Structure 1
Amino acid sequence: MTRKSPQNQEVETTGHSWDGIEELNNPLPKWWLYTLYVTIVWAFIYALAYPAWPGLRGASAGFLGFSTRGEVAGDIARFEALNASIDSALAAADLTEITPGSDLYTYALNAGHSVFLNNCAQCHGAGAAGNVGYPNLLDDDWLWGGTLADIQYSVTHGVRNTDDADARYSQMPKFGADGILEDAQIAQVVNYVLQISGQDFDAGLARAGAAVFEDNCTACHGADGTGMRAFGAPDLTDAIWLYGGDAVTLTDSVTNARFGVMPAMGLRLSSAEVNAVVTYVHAQGGGE
């Protein structure tokens, strides 16, 4: 009796056929099956070892107790311990006496940049150049003052927020919405502001607007329109505008007023972090 070689042995079919072509029931290689079984067992063990299974109040913890958040928290705690002494020095320092080039100044700049990106860049931009409604921190045009002490106060207490009783506060009247001025008067004062800021204006409206400005605006913006930092009132004679200086935007500002709010970062940040970000902002070129 001749023995058929494995190549000549008939292979059973699965019973499936397409267009006369039958599907053979060839067994998978043993090594492939064993590899599959091992990966299944490994996946099951992995799912039990690490956080994986969702529940009503969170995922399973895993018997290894691993947590990416825990690792990050541990790294943060480790670096905080390493920087504890210099953080204490920065928190207690008189910012005006920190010498540029010193270790404390260099640390403050680097730490301040990190604090700025995490807490301030969302409004003022990653490069601190500001956005519409959010001041540019690179120039020398400051609503509330640009000295280290001024910036420190603004960062610590914020502006027009309800969380800090010491927040800087001022409010521009809604001259149009509240019926303080008529539309014609608003057009006049807008043209006067266009005139003093060096833009195209209607001379007749601007002449009438000078009187409207004197009666309603000088208390905050000053007789010459250069602003008053005590009230956070902007200079209306330059080309720097927080919301825009064209006729349409100025009309909206006079009619409905503006009411920008800045959080009290002193409630979120440590004293060292506040001093670090103040040093960083002041060093960007706009600090006085």
Structure 2
Amino acid sequence: MSIGERDPFTGHQTTGHEWNGIKELNTPVPKPVWFFLISTAIFALVWTLLMPSWPYGTGYFKGLLGIDQKAVVSRSLVQGSAERAQWKARVEKGDWAQIQADDDLMRKIREDGRTLFGDNCAACHGTGAKGNKGFPNIAQSPMLWGDVPQIVEQTVRVGINGTDPDTRVSQMLAFGRDGTVTREQVSLLAGYVQSLSDTALITEHTKDSIASGKELFVTNCVACHGDNAKGSVDTGAPDLTDPYWIYGGDRADIYESIYSGRQGHMPSWSQRLTPVDIKIITLYVLDLRRKSMEAGAGG
């Protein structure tokens, strides 16, 4: 091994190692690397002394600053709960109209309501409250018992065909299965009902059958759905003239509804949610409906 030999091109000493004529240079570590290594070591030492770090026995070194993230989180939770309790108390005691006119309070209701709705209602009604087959679009369609805040709150609280003693009761009779009308008459009724929301279905070819369906409708259906087929908020019968359908609006779905009947179910949420949470969900849904109506008016 040669000692003190220098590379003529770089001026660095060699290590004496050579491979196939290539000599290894004894190149010093660049100064920036030393800087970052030393800085990192100093930072690690200072951080270890200031912050909670090394465990020992049943405890740990708590750091010279005494910072405890668990305590920080606990304080944050307590503070958040206190703030939440304050605005929820305002919701609980507040008048519906006053709450809806309070922008700051409604902002909190939208945030909290989105979570409550997502956890309890979205599985049936969808995250945007626009419904799934068998569950109504409560963001846009007319509500079965009306959209007055107190009425909506009551529906959420007692449910529909639920377990609460005061639950709302809603049922579509099985006209075909129970023999009230024949299969042919069910088909005529389905054609007429479908034409209520799609007048393009009334043609020279179909007008007679639709007229026959209308006669059957007057005999069997107006007691619940009304003479104009727009439903009734007193009985929870849906409007059959709009484009919103709970179980589907094609001919086969309507036929099945008339033939086999329908009996939807909504849980009685008073058994799971607090009164103020039910009120928040109600306000959240009504706010969704307001936004949908404004969007529709703007379009």
TM over 0.5, shorter chain: yes
Distance change in 2, residues 1:144/1:174 (3 Å): same
1:101 CA displacement: 4.1
Residues 206-245 of structure 1: pairs in structure 2 closer than 5 A: 206-245=210-249
Maintained 8 Å contact 1:191/1:209: yes
Maintained 8 Å contact 2:158/2:166: yes
Equivalent residue for 1:94?
95
Equivalent residue for 2:105?
104
2:253 to 227, 249, 253: 249
Equivalent residue for 1:259?
263
2:218 maps to a residue whose letter is: E
1:250 CA displacement: 0.8
2:136 maps to a residue whose letter is: P
Distance change in 2, residues 1:217/1:82 (3 Å): same
1:173 maps to a residue whose letter is: L
Equivalent residue for 2:118?
117
| C-alpha RMSD over aligned residues | 2.4
Equivalent residue for 1:177?
177
1:96 CA displacement: 2.1
Equivalent residue for 1:189?
189
Residues 63-142 of structure 1: pairs in structure 2 closer than 5 A: 79-142=80-143
Distance change in 2, residues 1:244/1:81 (3 Å): same
Q: Distance in 1 between matches of 2:268 and 2:93?
A: 20
Same amino acid, percent of matched pairs: 33
Q: TM-score, normalised by structure 1?
A: 0.69
Maintained 8 Å contact 1:99/1:105: yes
Equivalent residue for 2:10?
none
Maintained 8 Å contact 1:137/1:286: no
How many equivalent residue pairs? 217
1:76 CA displacement: 7.0
Q: Distance in 2 between matches of 1:119 and 1:277?
A: 10
Secondary structure in 2 aligned to 1:194? helix
Maintained 8 Å contact 2:141/2:244: no
Secondary structure in 1 aligned to 2:188? helix
Distance change in 2, residues 1:210/1:73 (3 Å): farther
Work out which of the two has the higher radius of gyration on C-alpha atoms and give 1 or 2. 2
Q: Distance in 1 between matches of 2:261 and 2:145?
A: 18
Maintained 8 Å contact 1:146/1:286: no
Distance change in 2, residues 1:263/1:75 (3 Å): farther
2:113 maps to a residue whose letter is: G
Q: Which has the higher helix share?
A: 2
Equivalent residue for 2:12?
none
| Larger RCO: 1 or 2 (CA < 8 Å, sep 6+) | 1
1:143 CA displacement: 1.4
Maintained 8 Å contact 1:141/1:286: no
Q: Distance in 2 between matches of 1:244 and 1:140?
A: 14
Maintained 8 Å contact 1:96/1:148: no
Q: TM-score, normalised by structure 2?
A: 0.66
Q: Distance in 2 between matches of 1:281 and 1:152?
A: 10
Unaligned runs of 5+ in 1: 1-48, 50-71
1:286 CA displacement: 4.8
CA offsets 1:114-163 (integer angstroms, 9 cap, x no match) = 111111111111111111111112214211211212211111111111x2
Residues 52-71 of structure 1: pairs in structure 2 closer than 5 A: none
Q: Distance in 2 between matches of 1:74 and 1:123?
A: 37
2:171 maps to a residue whose letter is: Q
Distance change in 2, residues 1:237/1:99 (3 Å): closer
Distance change in 2, residues 1:158/1:284 (3 Å): same
Q: Distance in 2 between matches of 1:178 and 1:143?
A: 25
Maintained 8 Å contact 1:158/1:262: yes
Maintained 8 Å contact 1:95/1:275: no
